[in-house]
Amino acid sequence: MDQNTSLADLRHSCAHLLAAAVKSIWPHAQPTLGPSTAEGFYYDFDFGDEKISDADLTKIEKEMVRIVKSWESFSRREVHADEARKEFANNKYKLELIDEIVSKGEVVTLYQSGSFVDLCRGGHIQNPRETLLHFKLMSVAGAYWRGDEKNTMLTRIYGTAFFTKEELGGYLTMLEEAKKRDHKKLGRDLDLFTFSELVGGGLPLWTPKGTLVRDILDDFVWKLRKEKGYQKVTIPHITKKDLYETSGHWAKFEQELFKIETREGHTFAMKPMNCPHHTQIYAHLPRSYRDLPQRYAETTMVYRDEQSGELAGLSRVRCITQDDAHVFCRKSQIATEASSVWDIVDTFYGAFGFELHIRLSFHDPNNMSAYLGTEALWQEAEQALEGLATQRGATYEVAPGEAAFYGPKIDFMAKDSLGRQWQVATIQLDVNMPERFDLHCTNEAGEKERIVMIHCAIMGSIERFTSVLIEHYAGAFPLWLAPVQVALLPISENHHTYAMHVAEVLQKHGVRIEVDCNARSIGAKIRLQTLQKVPYMGIMGDKEVSADAVSLRSRSGQDMGQMSVDTFVQKLISEIENRT
């Protein structure tokens, strides 16, 4: 068993331990589901009218420590559904799960440790009292049963667990550092974005500084795409439902769509993705094999009706700005076109110092009902992506069940400065949508030839990627990305005219500057700009005026000495152009 699977088993075992402790303290509580997650585990409970808060976590942890001492193993029993119903006669949630298991023709299994019995498919450690020692309960939150807001609101208790005390300690230290880097706090402190109750949750409003950051990132992506032969297209933000019925999105995501009813009785939807629209740009003209590939790019917002409880700053929003692109090509062109996208991804993420890891997200052959198309089409598409990864000499992992519903994908995973892993760019190979929209070209023999479609997002969601960047840099963006690159700080009113002269010189070279002419002390000005994480501060008094220079200071507090304005300009231009 590999380490990742073992860690998942450890955490799922800890979820059982949590449920046992909760039942010991609150016998009336009804446990529901308790899976492991990438960060730890959780368990959802129905406490009835009783309210549980973070203040109760220490009490629960102490009970977990007491109980685990008697847990020698997890014993598995296959039982008849009636026996399971008798075991959980007072738990309506478990009874619903039992009925679901039976309806699928699956075996009902119970796992027992000590006196605690739970309905479970499995995935546990073998010696809990020796291994299940290093855990921490993190928080309490609300969660609807089965994620449906029409169902009962439950109490979710989050926790984490590790094999060693050192691993747990390191993770908790990382979380403390992450709190300091929280993009929601830094976004407010640095005046990058805001939210308004009048506008609504999950709908960020970008300030001038935040919009600058977005535009710089998007311009960088477009520059790389333009070099690879992409062309910009523009589509509307709404569509008739017919488009998404044809693509398959309506059946799959109807509950997540914002719908519009027209005066004439037609149903439209706010677009949750762009690819169906782009198919219609391809299809509006007859295409010869000589016209391919067609490469379309567009940065535009899409809209998804996320539940309020799942919204989280820029990480989970209802309006998502996608730097989206689609390539329509022949099967023989897949490797070249996908490799070209890969080149863009490497260049873009290299500018931020991210080390990328490759995950091939494939379909689950045991659950074909979750996907469009046939098993044969999926295998063909997956072989093409795996062949590309091999051709490029990439080390990769295969993740069955992680594909999009219409096709497999290459997911690029990046670790930030805290060691947290994020899924960033994607390359998705789609053989299903060309089938559904009958997309083809005329080949050399004059016959119709089915084409394929490559979906490629570099940032994916600008909102989410910006949240990752803010936390990666702790708000201290590199010079090329910083909304204000230089703050000019005249010591007194006598130096204002010189400061404005230097500002004019810098602006002529495209440097983004701010001049602080307020009547505050130079120390106060430096503190303010340091808190705003401006990369450079140019301090100017009598000596600097007479020397046509600035005294340079970095946001880290480094005194860089006096530098002529011309030398300073060249330094800035070099750092900006090289993205250092």
124 is a catalytic site residue = no
The C-alpha atoms of residue 568 and residue 549 are separated, in whole angstroms, by 8
Nearest to 163 by CA among 21, 20, 14, 34: 14
Question: Which of 183, 277, 318, 326 is the catalytic position?
Answer: 326
304 is a catalytic site residue = yes
Question: Which of 94, 278, 409, 472 is the catalytic position?
Answer: 409
Give yes or no for a contact between 303 and 317, defined as CB atoms under 8 angstroms apart.
Answer: no
Phi, psi angles (nearest 5°) of residue 516? -100, 95
Beta strands in 233-369 (DSSP E): 238-240, 259-261, 267-270, 294-303, 319-329, 355-362
Question: Which of 12, 278, 304, 525 is the catalytic position?
Answer: 304
14 is a catalytic site residue = no
Phi, psi angles (nearest 5°) of residue 544? -70, -40
Give the position of tokens 């039976």: 102
Question: Which of 14, 120, 275, 319 is the catalytic position?
Answer: 275
Question: Which of 44, 118, 324, 411 is the catalytic position?
Answer: 324
For every residue of 401-419, DSSP letters joined together read T-SBTTB-EEEEEEE-TTS
Write the single-letter amino acid at 142: G
357 is a catalytic site residue = no
555 is a catalytic site residue = no
Distances (CA, A) of 496 to 539, 540, 546: 11, 9, 14
242 is a catalytic site residue = no
441 is a catalytic site residue = no
332: CB partners within 8 A, 6+ apart: none
Give the position of tokens 């020796």: 130
Nearest to 138 by CA among 24, 30, 46, 15: 15
Strand order in the sheet with 267-270: 238-240, 267-270, 259-261
Question: Which of 359, 455, 464, 553 is the catalytic position?
Answer: 455
536-564 exposure pattern, b = at least 16 Cβ within 10 A, e = fewer = bbbbbbeebbeeebbbbbebeeeeeebbe
Strand 75-79 relative to strand 108-113: parallel, antiparallel, unpaired?
Answer: antiparallel
Question: Which of 30, 322, 485, 529 is the catalytic position?
Answer: 322
Question: Catalytic amino acids?
Answer: 275, 304, 322, 324, 326, 409, 455
